[in-house]
Copies of this chain bind each other. A is one copy, B any other.
């Protein structure tokens, strides 16, 4: 290559780097179509300085549901898989637990027995696996699990059952000055252990279900003990209050996949003085992932939010035809 060609190449590279018109496609795993265009168009419109729709960076709050929106929720929500694995580990050191009716019901997958008598047995399982230890102990346990536990069908770690197209949206939004938050019914303490590694979302941007921790001393060191007191379930009409409580600003973008996200889609997009955007992931891909809406096998019922989408102007992406790829390449496989 002559020096002169080299210089031309450098000039072209620089031109490409500084010109947004020549930027690479930020959403390569999305098929061309209305859903992809709606994301690109909204972000372009609200980040253009001087435009009437301009949103200052401080107010660029985007909220994402987790189960079914950023990662799978089948065959069961992954936090339940964690709880069952955790229960099995506890039995190794405390074999008497096997005789506990709640433990028996959980290991047998006996849902009626778990939820009878005001969810008595289910709450006992949650208490055994999510309370009574320090926050550091819980974090270590989740960490061990998330690094090794594998999905029963998808041939990859649970932490790799995440949607590549949504990872691209997260990166694209952050590159455009948005703050990306998780707002999920999952446990905050559970998600915060791995959310930064997996999604690039740090703990302080994870809003989830939670219950009180208690300040205490273990010898000469302060610790926080997890309890089940004042449980707050961050789902359905609980999501907008949690957004207010934790973030304190009204979002301008909201991504969900179920009726559990309807209230936060409404709070984001209905009567918001700022331009706003809502998107629903519709699970229509039984082959590459799962197909469900009105009758999910696990969580994720989607009826009302889907029916409201046209009148609300919410984008619906149908996984089967909207997404070129569903998952990122798995780092290892068996």
Contacts and interface: CB of A to CB of B under 8 A. Distances in A.
Contacts of A42: none
A215 B237 contact: yes
Nearest to A211: B245
Contacts of A202: 58
Contacts of A238: 215
Interface residues of A, number: 36
Contacts of A230: 230
Contacts of A266: 222
Nearest to A196: B58
A215 B246 contact: no
B221 A263 contact: no
A267 interface: yes
Nearest to A213: B241
Interface in A222-256: 222, 224, 230, 237-238, 240-241, 244-249
A203 interface: yes
Given A179-B204, A240-B222, A240-B224, A215 B267 contact: yes
A10 interface: no
A222 B267 contact: yes
Contacts of A245: 188, 210, 212-213
A206 interface: yes
A267 B221 CA distance: 8
Residue among A213, A221, A222, A248 with max Cβ neighbours from chain B (10 Å): A248
A299 interface: no
A241 B212 contact: yes
Contacts of A247: 203-204
B220 A241 contact: no
A212 B249 CA distance: 15
Nearest to A221: B271
A240 B222 CA distance: 10
A324 interface: no
Given A203-B248, A214-B241, A224-B241, 5 more contacts: A203-B247, A204-B204, A210-B245, A213-B244, A215-B237
